[in-house]
């Protein structure tokens, strides 16, 4: 079982990891302590691997800082579900292998217990099972490889690019 962490619209990268907590300022070892340190201080101490973020539209707007999704990866976030994502955040999360689903599940209450079948895109909730829209095959290949770096190292090319 995973827990749902509910967030609102336009969650920006300064809320996910404020700039002054950047690895540049404090070192990479500390990063897992910082997600939502000011916006939602109960998150980092209580989040469990596999937990799911369900947010409103435009999740991850603002900076290009990849340590925002990296911090969420370090605490083991299982997926992020939002009606839309800011594009740099979307790329960064995809590159790190964090599953993102574009869907409006903001009716799910904070703390709801759910189970996600990532490969089928099925989310089992107390209110029933939701079929999440599946991203294109090449994106799922990047997840399956564990991120874009292992993908490029394995295949010697970018996803979607014809093999040489």
Task: Say how far apart CA 95 and CA 147 lie, in whole Å.
Answer: 5
Question: Residues 84, 106, 115, 125: which binds other proteins (CB under 8 A)?
Answer: 84
Q: Does 67 bind other proteins (CB under 8 A)?
A: yes
Q: Which stretch binds other proteins (CB under 8 A): 44-52, 73-81, 92-100, 114-122?
A: 92-100
Q: What is the smallest separation between the CB atom of 147 and other proteins, expressed in angstroms?
A: 7
DSSP string, 53-117: EE--SSBTBS---THHHHHHHHTT--EEEES-B-HHHHHHHHHHT--EEE---TTSPTT-EEEEE
CB of 9 or CB of 125, closer to other proteins? 9
Q: With respect to other proteins, which residue has the nearer C-beta, 101 or 112?
A: 101
Q: What strands, in cross-sheet order, belong to the sheet with 128-131?
A: 100-102, 79-82, 52-54, 2-6, 113-117, 122-125, 128-131
Phi, psi values for residue 119, rounded to 5°: -70, -35
Q: What's the closest the beta carbon of residue 126 comes to other proteins, in angstroms?
A: 30
Distance CA 159, CA 72 (A): 24
Window 11-50: residues binding other proteins (CB under 8 A): 12, 14-15, 18-20, 22-28, 38-39
The gap from C-alpha 83 to its chain's centroid, in whole angstroms, comes to: 13
Q: How far is the CB of 137 from other proteins (least distance, A)?
A: 12
Nearer to other proteins, 12 or 106 (CB): 12
Record the tokens describing residue 100, joined without a space.
């993102």
Shortest distance in whole angstroms from residue 149 CB to other proteins? 5
Helices 148-155 and 87-96: crossing angle in degrees, nearest 10, is 60
Residues of this chain that bind other proteins (CB under 8 A): 10, 12, 14-15, 18-20, 22-28, 38-39, 57-58, 61-67, 69, 84-88, 91-92, 95-96, 138, 147-149, 152-153, 157-161
């Amino acid at each position: 079982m995973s827990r749902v962490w509910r967030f609102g619209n336009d969650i920006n990268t300064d809320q996910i990891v404020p700039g002054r907590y950047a690895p540049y300022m404090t070192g990479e070892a500390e990063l897992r302590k910082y997600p939502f340190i000011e916006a939602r201080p109960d998150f980092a101490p209580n989040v469990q691997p596999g937990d799911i973020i369900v947010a409103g539209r435009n999740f991850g707007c603002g900076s290009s800082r990849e340590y925002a999704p990296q911090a969420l990866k370090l605490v083991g976030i299982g997926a992020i579900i939002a009606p839309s994502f800011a594009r740099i955040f979307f790329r960064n999360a995809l590159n790190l292998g964090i599953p993102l689903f574009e869907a409006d599940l903001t009716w799910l209450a904070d703390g709801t217990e759910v189970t996600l079948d990532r490969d089928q895109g099925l989310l089992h909730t107390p209110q029933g099972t939701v079929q999440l829209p599946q991203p294109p095959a090449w994106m799922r290949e990047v997840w399956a490889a564990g991120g874009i770096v292992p993908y490029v190292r394995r295949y010697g090319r970018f996803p979607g690019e014809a093999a040489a």
